[in-house]
Structure 1
Amino acid sequence: MNKDILESDRPIFIVGAPRSGTTLMRYCLNRHSRIYIPPETYFFARIYGNRNLILEQNIPRYAVDIVERFLNYRFSEQSDHHLKEYFEFKYEWIEQLSEGNYSYRDVATILFGKIAGKRGKLRWGEKTPSHIFYIDFILELFPNAIIINMQRDPKNAIASYLYCSHLPDNFFLACGIYELSRIFARKYSHCLYTVQYEELTRFPERVLRNLCKHLRENFEPQMLKPGMCDSSYSKKVIEIDEKIGIIPDEPEKWKKYLTQQQSEFIDILLNFKSRENQWGYWYDWVKVKRWQFLFLSRIYKNRYGYENIKHWLNL
């Protein structure tokens, strides 16, 4: 069977906790001659995740509206220069989606596949870290999808989250999201291919060769030159230079950014340390659980149609 046909039904999705290396993985895979993965879209959270909305009566019309909204919103908020590709195909997408009665799977394929096709790539994917909470949605539309879960040392990931310019400077929220990401990753571990960020940066060729075997693709040396400056702990726009290789992560870089109290709380929260001192952190634990409740409420509201109530009440 032709390899292109064999792999055409196996898109690649990159998920994980925030600041866990999903962007680096996207840049590595995009250097492959057959693969292209565009910037974050939140497709499964904001488009497929909203399929229970009472407003959504016509998939093509809804798809057109959401694509326009996505393009305008994402381009204005992000610094990734690749986002201009979405605008390049904006009117092609809108025209195509307006012509027929498409399923959500069709909409996703059109949205992601067109960019890859225009770049001469035969295989497409998608990268949104928070889709770790929507693995079931991904598998509903693409049962044969390959889902790469990026993991990173929790202290480095949380410290990077706090230092990132476009994320909230909220330690308890960062801890809550990281812990939830671990919980969901364990829940779906049977269908995830996990890559440790530290391993990727220290032994990039070995990690990427193993990943290519899993993807049923040949390893290509240019994957080792993603062209991305280290964006971890960075408040700068990602710089693109194809001469740049993969920069090893500093194992204890977090010590420059987290207090000893924050470090100990992370150990206790994630069960890395005896909970003998846990009562000294009970109030911090409550703060984390509060943020997790609010975060999970946003995730599940669309699944159960809570948005319909807002519509009926004109909120």
Structure 2
Amino acid sequence: MFESDRPIFIIGCPRSGTTLLQLMLHSHPRIAVPPETRFVIPAYFHRKVYGDMREPENRRRLAEWIATGKGTKFHELGLDPQEFVEEAVHAPGSLGSVIGTAFAAYARRFGKPRWGDKRPSYFQHVGTLRRMFPDAQFIHLIRDGRDCVASLKEMPWYRGNVYTAVANWAEAIDFGRRHAAELPKDSYFELRYEDLTADPEGALRALCTFLGEEYDPAMRDPREVASIAVPPHKVWHRNTHREVTRSRVGSWANRLEPWEISLCETVLGERLTALGYELSGAPRASREHLSAYRSAAARRRRVRWKRQARDRISRLREPGPVAAMLTRYQRLHCVAV
């Protein structure tokens, strides 16, 4: 039987349970999913700085930035930086190959043949990720938007407010609808957090079928790997060190102010009901709150449009090959030219 070596990406609005899903997948005997790495998308958007990846010295410069650059989380992979750099220098000559080499090395650390990556904001960058990893599979984890907003409000690292949190969830769902319509069925899978926590085995069996993997019972209880795959300083993920629970499902009712519930249900109501979530019947949000939300959403759109415009210009003169040449599919279809 053919064993898949396709990369796996977990996407979704922040605070959707993506870390729990990361650990569940990392508990599979064939799949390794590290903590958030934070070098994939920056490496792509700065690819002109490093030049043509067919040149070994350019691969070295990029690999050294991945391993030691400010802002990357390479150190949390538990890999030897110099060993990774040398492996990347000898990797195939493309941007995706250098980046993929880091993940492949992480998977080997656990004796596993397949790797994944988790970063909620990847929902905005599926097209970019497919440029680098054309055979990638994407798992979109969806959680009740009101619970996501309530949780984001409480995070010490979250720099936004209720309005940006609402906009973030709306964007994740809208991007997801687009991905579901455009991507091949074997490349995109949606899973609700509420279903995952209500019936972990049933949800994970369906997910494994999508991934082309055999279900493993260890995935149901990922606490064993939490100490390895979740950095200790991320105290907001403390629940991942416990058994899977539904204690936070629907907790938005006690964590959001009445006006915040109104805002969520006014703005997100159609999306929530389409995904099977019931509305509370809260009154319509005030004009003031809706205006503040629209301003926040517009700012996010402008930032995204500017980034996309810059990337369209960059694509006119690529510095070198982008697609990885590491998996079976990639080696057959992605040739450095």
TM-score under structure 2 length normalisation: 0.76
1:68 aligns with 2:76: no
Of 45, 51, 73, 1:57 maps to: 51
Shift in Å, 1:235: 7.6
1:218 aligns with 2:214: yes
Shift in Å, 1:245: 2.4
Q: Distance in 2 between matches of 1:299 and 1:259?
A: 34
After TM superposition, the structure 1 stretch with the greater mean CA deviation from structure 2, 42-51 or 11-20, is 42-51
Structural mapping, 1:24-173, within 5 Å: 24-51=20-47, 53=48, 55-59=49-53, 60-70=59-69, 72-75=70-73, 84-99=75-90, 102-173=93-164
1:296 aligns with 2:304: yes
Q: Distance in 2 between matches of 1:101 and 1:210?
A: 34
1:186 aligns with 2:177: yes
Amino acid at match of 2:11: V
Q: Distance in 2 between matches of 1:100 and 1:31?
A: 28
After TM superposition, the structure 1 stretch with the greater mean CA deviation from structure 2, 116-125 or 266-275, is 266-275
1:207 aligns with 2:203: yes
Change (3 A) 1:297 1:68: farther
Amino acid at match of 1:258: L
Whether contact under 8 Å (2:103, 2:116) holds in the other structure is yes
Which runs of 5 or more residues in structure 1 are unaligned? 76-82, 307-315
Q: Distance in 1 between matches of 2:140 and 2:306?
A: 22
Shift in Å, 1:101: 6.0
Q: Distance in 1 between matches of 2:165 and 2:198?
A: 25
Look up the match of 1:79.
none
Whether contact under 8 Å (1:14, 1:126) holds in the other structure is yes
Change (3 A) 1:41 1:32: same
Q: Distance in 2 between matches of 1:276 and 1:219?
A: 44
Shift in Å, 1:251: 3.1
The root-mean-square deviation of aligned C-alpha atoms, in Å, is 2.9
Structural mapping, 1:275-286, within 5 Å: 279=287, 281-286=289-294
For residue 102 of structure 1, give the secondary structure of its aligned residue in structure 2.
coil
For residue 88 of structure 1, give the secondary structure of its aligned residue in structure 2.
coil
For residue 270 of structure 1, give the secondary structure of its aligned residue in structure 2.
helix
After TM superposition, the structure 1 stretch with the greater mean CA deviation from structure 2, 17-26 or 181-190, is 181-190
For residue 248 of structure 1, give the secondary structure of its aligned residue in structure 2.
coil
For residue 73 of structure 1, give the secondary structure of its aligned residue in structure 2.
coil
Q: Distance in 1 between matches of 2:95 and 2:12?
A: 23
- CA-to-partner distance for each residue in 1:38-58, whole Å, 9 max, x for gaps? 11123442112333x3x2324
Amino acid at match of 1:98: V
Whether contact under 8 Å (2:12, 2:141) holds in the other structure is yes
Q: Distance in 2 between matches of 1:100 and 1:3?
A: 24
Whether contact under 8 Å (1:35, 1:124) holds in the other structure is yes
Q: Distance in 1 between matches of 2:256 and 2:236?
A: 23
Look up the match of 1:78.
none
Runs of 4+ in 1 over 4 A off after TM superposition: 239-242, 273-278
For residue 71 of structure 2, give the secondary structure of its aligned residue in structure 1.
helix
1:253 aligns with 2:251: yes
Q: Distance in 2 between matches of 1:153 and 1:162?
A: 15
Amino acid at match of 1:129: P
For residue 187 of structure 1, give the secondary structure of its aligned residue in structure 2.
helix
Which runs of 5 or more residues in structure 2 are unaligned? 54-58, 271-278, 315-337
% identical aligned pairs: 25
Shift in Å, 1:133: 0.7
- CA-to-partner distance for each residue in 1:12-62, whole Å, 9 max, x for gaps? 1111111111111000011111110111123442112333x3x23243144
Q: Distance in 1 between matches of 2:121 and 2:239?
A: 24
Shift in Å, 1:69: 4.1
Change (3 A) 1:87 1:235: closer
Shift in Å, 1:108: 2.6
Amino acid at match of 1:292: R
TM-score under structure 1 length normalisation: 0.81
Q: Distance in 2 between matches of 1:220 and 1:246?
A: 16
